[in-house]
Amino acid sequence: MRVLVVEPDPALGWLIQRACGDQVQVMECRDFHSAREHLVTGRFDRLITNLRLRDYNGLHLVLLANAERCGIRAVVHTDRSDPYLAREARAIGAFFEASDRLPHALAAYLSPSLPESDRRNPDRSDRRTPLRGGRRAADRPVQV
């Protein structure tokens, strides 16, 4: 499998590359222009891109991949919650993920059994997001 990773942050790019594993060929780009060049000239199975790429965004790359009809599956990630852009990503056929969860979820995105579309509802908050509070009252130590 060949993956094009577009990530301006070198630390997050390294985490994504490490999460892809040794069986995956990873081409990493730091900006939109070099990613566009690789996307047009190369053949990739997955596109993993940050939503924010300075003057452009990752959705531009997904649209370009769709226009080229190369059959690439795309994952767009960001560190900010944005339901509007999550809906936009779904509308153009991409999956949308939070940047902090991406290295952990990457194995599922690289799976050959990836669903045709992202079925999650971006308007519903993720049950893993809200803090559930601290310890139960019964767990507190008794002060004598």
Domains of the chain by start residue, with CATH: 2-109 (3.40.50.2300)
pLDDT band per the 50, 70, 90 thresholds, residue 119: low
Determine the pLDDT at residue 83: 83
Tokens of 73: 């599956």
Segment 65-86, tens digit of pLDDT = 988 777 789 999 999 878 888 8
Mean pLDDT of the chain: 84
Q: Tell me the C-alpha distance between 36 and 129, whole Å.
A: 33
Between the two ends of the chain, the Cα-to-Cα distance in Å is: 62
Model confidence over 37-66: pLDDT tens digits?
A: 999 898 899 999 999 998 898 999 999 998
Cα–Cα dist 115/95, whole Å:
10
Quote the tokens at residue 141.
């130590």
Please give the average per-residue pLDDT across 11-40, as a whole number. 92
